[in-house]
Structure 1
Amino acid sequence: MFAVSKILSIEITVEKLAEAIKEAKEKSKKRNFTQSIELIIAIEGLDLKKPENRIRTTIKLPYPPKKKKLIAVFADGVMAEKAKEAGVDHVFSGKDLSGLSGLKREIRKIAKKFDFFLAEPKLMALVGKIMGFALGPRGKMPQIITPATDIKKLVDELRSSVFVNVRNNPMVGVSIGTEDMDDDKLAENALTVIKNIESKLPEKAYIKRIYVKTTMGPSVRVI
């Protein structure tokens, strides 16, 4: 499997990525916690002043990271119960949401803590009004769920995914797994992200550099 970088025409293979990931692990000092493996992609020629060039996407990985993704839902009544049954990590009712009004520090903590947010339609305006300042810049505004949504399936998909938000800086930085995962599986995850990002680049924009690293370790250049 390979991805070809636009303009540069450089083949990025699973083998090449796996070698870089192995090197990143070897160069990283042992820590008293399991470190993430991070993928960094630098993009050249991407004019982010044009809104249509900004990238906001959720990418499902072939090998889900062992670190659990945290998901919160804004819902009341039946939808709240369905969300709890689906195994989400926290449900905020409309009353809970209203109670957060003006508590900017607490809202920022919530925005940072959870990886994904879901909301039923009737609460979306309130979410935007109260929490939009914290969720918007992070690209974490909720995905809408309706009575027809299979919430369990959606939650499972999100927990196997990474979110990418290229808004102000032409660079992608995401965790593709943890250091205790197999190098080849991490490489497959990395390649999935690379191919997805490249497919969304406008003409003349291309991937210039790719690095991998552990949470606390030095970067290892792939290309």
Structure 2
Amino acid sequence: MLVGKEDFVKAISEAISKAKERKFVETVEMAVNLKNVDMRKPENRIDTILLLPHGLGKPRKVGVFARGETMIKAKSANADIVLSPEDIDQLSKDKRKARKIANEIDFFVAEAPLMAEIGRKLGAILGPRGKIPQPIPPLSDPKPIIDRLRNSVRIRTRDKMTFHVPIGIRTMKIDAMAENALEVIKVVENKYENPHLILKSVFVKTTMGPAVRVI
């Protein structure tokens, strides 16, 4: 392991102690800086959805594109928004509303047969935000994937050498956030052949607080 749990416990504790109390519950996030890797090559980029062992202290918002029975199941699973083929068409004509929904929802799921239409009509809005839906088979129960995504984060470098990812909220137990952070580091370890040559530095901070170096 490139970073130990105690390293994160110490840094997260320091970051929280240095951050002023706010009128809202701040997110605790980590910044990971990489080196010695050519991000111009797509195969070197990280783009994955990671299930955090302790979640984020608050559920992520999940939207579902579906028809018929799957729509009913999605509503029963308490999806934050359920969109029909008619909604897809309407959103393609109302870009402002489409952008608002894309910004508010963390993850999308869609019945596989709807993916082409979503890509054609909403891809320009969802794609740059990393919100292209995860496909599920027609008539399948979306509840398992909705439940998983509620406790997940997306790690996406694009062509940058730095990525940021939330690991919890200020009121969570520090041990839990440290264990979430270790899972993020594992993504780097599993992605690259020599991760010790790739990982440059790691920082943690609250939303509006100062950054504290972990390594």
Q: Same fold (TM over 0.5)?
A: yes
2:209 partner letter: G
Which residue matches 1:179? 170
Equivalent position SS for 2:156: strand
Aligned residues: 214
Q: Structure 1: how far apart are the matches of 2:137 and 2:8?
A: 40
Q: 1:53 to 1:148 in 2, by over 3 A?
A: farther
Cα pair 1:138 1:165 within 8 Å, conserved: no
Which residue matches 2:211? 219
TM-score, normalised by the number of residues in structure 1: 0.91
Equivalent position SS for 1:154: helix
Cα pair 2:77 2:142 within 8 Å, conserved: yes
Which residue matches 1:108? 99
1:154-169 → structure 2 map (5 Å cutoff): 154-169=145-160
Among candidates 86, 92, 98, match of residue 83 of structure 2: 92
RMSD over equivalenced CA pairs, Å:
1.5
Give 1:197 deviation, angstroms: 2.4
Cα pair 2:113 2:138 within 8 Å, conserved: no
Among candidates 31, 36, 46, match of residue 27 of structure 2: 36
In the alignment, structure 1 segments of 5+ residues that lack a partner are 5-11
Which residue matches 2:59? 68
In the alignment, structure 2 segments of 5+ residues that lack a partner are none
Give 1:102 deviation, angstroms: 3.5
Which residue matches 2:5? 14
Q: Structure 2: how far apart are the matches of 1:130 and 1:52?
A: 27
Which residue matches 2:47? 56
Instruction: Tell me, yes or no, if structure 1 residue 125 matches structure 2 residue 116.
Output: yes
Give the ranges of 4+ consecutive aligned residues of structure 1 lying more than 3 Å apart after TM superposition.
Answer: 147-150, 202-205
Percent identical: 45
TM-score, normalised by the number of residues in structure 2: 0.94
Q: Which protein has the bigger helix share?
A: 2
1:200 partner letter: K
Q: Structure 2: how far apart are the matches of 1:64 and 1:112?
A: 20
Q: 1:77 to 1:150 in 2, by over 3 A?
A: closer
Which residue matches 1:207? 199
Q: Structure 1: how far apart are the matches of 2:92 and 2:214?
A: 45
Give 1:209 deviation, angstroms: 0.7
Which residue matches 1:151? 142
Give 1:104 deviation, angstroms: 2.4
